[in-house]
Structure 1
Amino acid sequence: MPADRTEPPVTAFMLVKTTPEWLAMTVAERVQAFTTNVLPVIRARTHRVRSRFYDTEFYSARVTDIWVWEADDHDAYRLLIDALRETPFWDRYFEVVDLVVGIENGYARTYGLKPLATLAT
């Protein structure tokens, strides 16, 4: 994090459900579709955004995956969402069930407190 940063990163938990179109593809076709139809748009339209992906289909019928996006600021997050909406990712390959967006330890920042979080030992 740059020393001059005043705002914490924005973290978005994107809860999605795979569509029949996505599931009808082979794994190789899915990788090809994502790397040619989705990733180039994200890379061209966004910056300062990182992602992680979690499979949940074996625990939830409503949400099959959780995509965690961390953006350096709200503008970077907005650009990400705008980019995703212009790709087959949005409502063609995946149904976006919910977006939960937050700031890590926002309460601590607001009240000048140390975060109340546990750390692995």
Structure 2
Amino acid sequence: MSADETEPPVTAFILVKTTPEWLALTVQERVHVFTTQVLPVIEAKTTGVRSRFYDTEFYSARVTDVWVWEADDHRAYQLLIDALRETPFWDRYFEVIDLLVGTENGYARTYGLAPVATITT
């Protein structure tokens, strides 16, 4: 990698399934657990990570939620996973089904091409 290039962001799709323990909590209890037991650990141990949440239980029995994380680089992603594993999110409130990790348009960077994408109006 040349000096003028930066490492591309890492995107992780964490596929999870809710546990009976999580579902037994009220909505208010879930928010409290997340904001007091999960977020503080992530914020204390990571930088350069952002998340979005997608509900999939309407369409899938195996995966109830997809948590999409973007990390500035591989180190930030690794710190994120280490932090999550120290919280009740990981295998207590959610069963982690799969981790799908990649970089957007990696093929384009590898072959020096412009990314190919669809645009609709």
* TM-score normalised per structure 1: 0.95
**Alignment partner, residue 43 of structure 1:** 43
Distance across 2 between alignment mates of 1:82 and 1:8: 21
TM-score when normalising by structure 2: 0.95
Matched, 1:116 2:116: yes
Give me the whole-angstrom Cα distance separating, in 1, the residues matched to 2:5 and 2:110.
16
Aligned residue type for 2:100: V
Q: Distance in 1 between matches of 2:73 and 2:21?
A: 33
Identity %: 82
Secondary structure, in 3 states, of the residue corresponding to 1:96? strand
The runs of at least 4 consecutive aligned structure 1 residues that moved more than 6 Å come to: none
**What is the number of residues matched between the two proteins?**
118
1:76-97 per-position Cα deviation (integer Å, ceiling 9, x unaligned): 0000000000000000010000
- Structure 2 residue runs without a partner (length 5+): none
What is the RMSD of the two structures over their aligned residues, measured on CA atoms?
0.9
Gaps in structure 1 of 5+ consecutive residues: none
Aligned to 1:22: 22
Match of 1:64 in 2: 64
Partner of 2:33: 33
Residue 28 of structure 1 aligns to a residue in which SS?
Answer: helix
